[in-house]
Chain A
Amino acid sequence: MERVVRWARARSPWILHLNTGGCNGCDIEVVAALTPRYDVERFGILLRGSPRHADIIVVTGPITVQMRERVKRIYDQTPEPKFVVAVGQCACSGGVFRNCYSVIGGVDKVMPVDIYIPGCPPKPEAIIYGIAQLIDRIAGGGIAWIYRSK
């Protein structure tokens, strides 16, 4: 039974796109990955508007002070098992905004991150590669999967 669930999960990962205070650069690249040239729907990836429907949270941008509590809430609302992908340098570490007073830092300051995709912004190919690696991990029962199922 678990194999079936895992198979289903890996074949149709629904993602939630969450901007936590970034510059939009990564966001348009995430959306570009969904449109005809890159078309991630061929992997069964579907963009959802509600965290309650999502398996993967794709986070772009550094965490700002005002967004911190809201990000935590969104993470809590996402059903288990959930995976977090940090897209872009800001989401990985705070990036170019590290000297700004209202920026806390990367996404890993508030929630666990499974995949980091660096770049400013990463190309859609890089985003697809990162998510594909995550899917591979979900399907193969990698580290993240074992960690979460305990």
Chain B
Amino acid sequence: MDIPVEVNILRDRLGDRLIEYGSIKPRRIYARIERSAVKDAISLLASHGYTHVSAITGLDTGKGLEVLYHLDRTGSLFTVRVDVPYDDPKLPSITDIIPGAVLYEGEVRDLFGVVFEGNPYPRPVVLPDGWPEDFHPLRKIYSVDDIRKTIADRGVGTQQIEVEEGGGAIYVPIGPQHPALKEPIGLRFVVEGEYIVKVKARIGYNHRGIEKAMENQTYIQNLMLAERICGICSVAHTQCYVLAVESALDLDIPERARYIRVVMNELNRIHSHMLWMGVAGHEVGFDTILMYTWRDREYVLDLLEAISGNRVTYSINVIGGVRRDIPDDMRDSVMKTMDYVEVRAKLYMDLLLRDPSFTRRTVGVGKASTRDALTLCAVGPTARAFNVKKDIRKDEPYEVYGDIPFEIVVVDNCDVAGTFIVRAKEILESVDIIRYALEHMPGGDYRVKAPRRVPQIEAIARVEAPRGELLHYLKGSGGEQPYRYKVRTPTLANIPFVAKMLEGCNVADIPIAFAAIDPCMACEDRMEFIDESKGVTWIWSLEDLRAYRKLKEKGSVSKPLEYIDRYGGKLDVS
């Protein structure tokens, strides 16, 4: 076993405080350290290139709590493990070393009750409002029924929504919902006149408790649940899930299945990027592009339906291979659609980048530096638009991505326009990957039988979902159900970064700047603004923002407060 140089440095610096270390799987190193050494260890690793926090996992071992920091350096994952006793669950926050860890720490605090001293984020992060402070749902002593009972007894989530009235504050009550994007999120803005100074996000409207449910279901049942974590990147989630389980089982799957998985992954990426382009076009008022991309997307969905039998939830990946083969006579129709997609993707790029009304809304909007993207741990196309060369398909090739020639698309625009270019070019790369995979696909089986029990070992899988790095963590129990399952989605990783992007933005540019990360769990429909100089708070919906933008372009209003004075709760301005 090769012990990487970082472990030696860690041993020299920490001495006795390094308890054990090792490497079970390739590209996965772990080191168990004393609680007092957390900050030393993280800053030491950060200075050796482990600057990206992929996730922070909480674990209830039955004897105590354990916190796992997964640090990433191009393709290898260093896991720092710290034991935390039940009676004194405290750890220092690492947000001063790596600011991108802020939400991950908050999540562990909510779900396991580990207090990170110095973390600036208010609780709760993912749990509903009114959740009891001393009740942590992912601890093993609570069953799902216990948690349900507590929710009912303590009236969690039944609190009246606070409505601010009088005192100059104006409240526009709109629920957390919106037509173009899908799911709810709350963002709290501090503005100075027209410009945003600070943003705070309230996520968790969508918190369902999937991780706990997974502990009570078999691996085969969990495959269905994993697929439904997100309906858009459904292939990526099952891909990550089967990678984790297969890695824990040490299961080798047929080569043909690996190629089919790659084809499905890339088709999924194409349809997701097209979907995003349409939505983003809609956010800047360019509805033509919404209709174009969504029409073309249907052809990709037709292919996916022909291959898997479903349009959205494909259930193509199973533990040990894929459920269905891609027959040879289907190859031609895939190739034909790929030709069409290629032509259209080039057209979008041409259309968008030369259209002045579009470039005026995107170029220079949502500016942030590459350094911010790195320290706030941005992932996926968002990071790549900010000149961060990071793609799990290249850095840590899974399935057969290592054998397929393709380029990581990186641009240095560092604004919203860059995210468009990255995604359009990625569609073209995906088209090439699919062509290559279909031409080089070997024959043979596409599925092997997998055991139903997973031994008591840990596995961490990462894939490049359409929205970025997706991480699944699995700890087997030796039985048919996992002991612990954790999912870290790319959108959660990107939220601290988009908050940074929005700072300094124009109020009217919020929808497009927020859409730039392709929020998958989120729609920022409920926005709260605080004008610090006047001490006024108000809430706007996206529609308000669009209406405000229109009026501002006409020159009939110049400040948000002027808009409120004149139009107040009126939403529709045509």
* Minimum distance in angstroms from B2 CB to a CB of chain A: 41
Structural contact, B231 and A32, CB atoms closer than 8 A:
no
Answer whether residue A93 sits at the interface, using C-beta atoms and an 8 A cutoff: no
Structural contact, A101 and B228, CB atoms closer than 8 A:
no
A residues in contact with B205, CB < 8 Å: 21, 64, 66-67, 70
| Known contacts A29-B312, A64-B128, A77-B173; A101 and B209 CB within 8 A of each other | yes
A residues in contact with B291, CB < 8 Å: 35-36
Complex Cα distance, B148 from A103, in Å, reads 9
Main secondary structure of the interface of B (DSSP, over half): loop
* Minimum distance in angstroms from B183 CB to a CB of chain A: 5
Proximity string of chain B (175-186) to chain A, C-beta cutoff 8 Å, 1 when within and 0 when not: 111111011100
Structural contact, B128 and A16, CB atoms closer than 8 A:
no
Structural contact, A18 and B228, CB atoms closer than 8 A:
no
Structural contact, A69 and B173, CB atoms closer than 8 A:
no
Answer whether residue A97 sits at the interface, using C-beta atoms and an 8 A cutoff: yes
Structural contact, B178 and A49, CB atoms closer than 8 A:
yes
Please report which residues of chain A, range 1-40, place their CB below 8 angstroms from some CB of chain B when the two chains form the complex. Answer: 16-19, 21-29, 31-32, 35-37
Answer whether residue A106 sits at the interface, using C-beta atoms and an 8 A cutoff: no
Residue of B nearest to A59 (CB): B177
Answer whether residue B206 sits at the interface, using C-beta atoms and an 8 A cutoff: yes
**Extra inter-chain contacts (9) besides given A21-B183, A65-B157, A121-B231, CB under 8 Å:** A23-B228, A27-B183, A29-B312, A64-B207, A66-B128, A100-B210, A101-B144, A101-B147, A120-B313
* Minimum distance in angstroms from B367 CB to a CB of chain A: 28
Answer whether residue A102 sits at the interface, using C-beta atoms and an 8 A cutoff: yes
Residue of B nearest to A89 (CB): B228
Answer whether residue B294 sits at the interface, using C-beta atoms and an 8 A cutoff: yes
| Known contacts A35-B290, A99-B216; A50 and B174 CB within 8 A of each other | yes
Structural contact, B231 and A23, CB atoms closer than 8 A:
yes
Structural contact, B179 and A28, CB atoms closer than 8 A:
no
Structural contact, B541 and A62, CB atoms closer than 8 A:
no
Answer whether residue B557 sits at the interface, using C-beta atoms and an 8 A cutoff: no
| Known contacts A23-B229, A29-B311, A36-B295; A103 and B208 CB within 8 A of each other | yes
| Known contacts A29-B312, A49-B178, A123-B311; A65 and B151 CB within 8 A of each other | yes
Q: How large is the interface on A (under 10, 10 to 19, 20 to 34, 35 or more residues)?
A: 35 or more
Complex Cα distance, B174 from A77, in Å, reads 9
Sample of 13 A–B contacts (CB below 8 Å): A17-B177, A19-B177, A24-B182, A35-B290, A37-B298, A62-B208, A66-B128, A77-B175, A96-B228, A99-B213, A121-B311, A121-B312, A123-B311
* Minimum distance in angstroms from A77 CB to a CB of chain B: 7
Structural contact, B173 and A64, CB atoms closer than 8 A:
no
* Minimum distance in angstroms from B337 CB to a CB of chain A: 15
Residue of B nearest to A74 (CB): B175
Structural contact, A49 and B231, CB atoms closer than 8 A:
no
A residues in contact with B572, CB < 8 Å: 50, 53
Most buried by A among B128, B159, B217, B229: B128
* Minimum distance in angstroms from A69 CB to a CB of chain B: 6
* Minimum distance in angstroms from B300 CB to a CB of chain A: 12
Most buried by A among B183, B543, B572: B183
Residue of B nearest to A50 (CB): B571
Q: Which of B129, B234, B294 contacts A25 (CB 8 A)?
A: B234
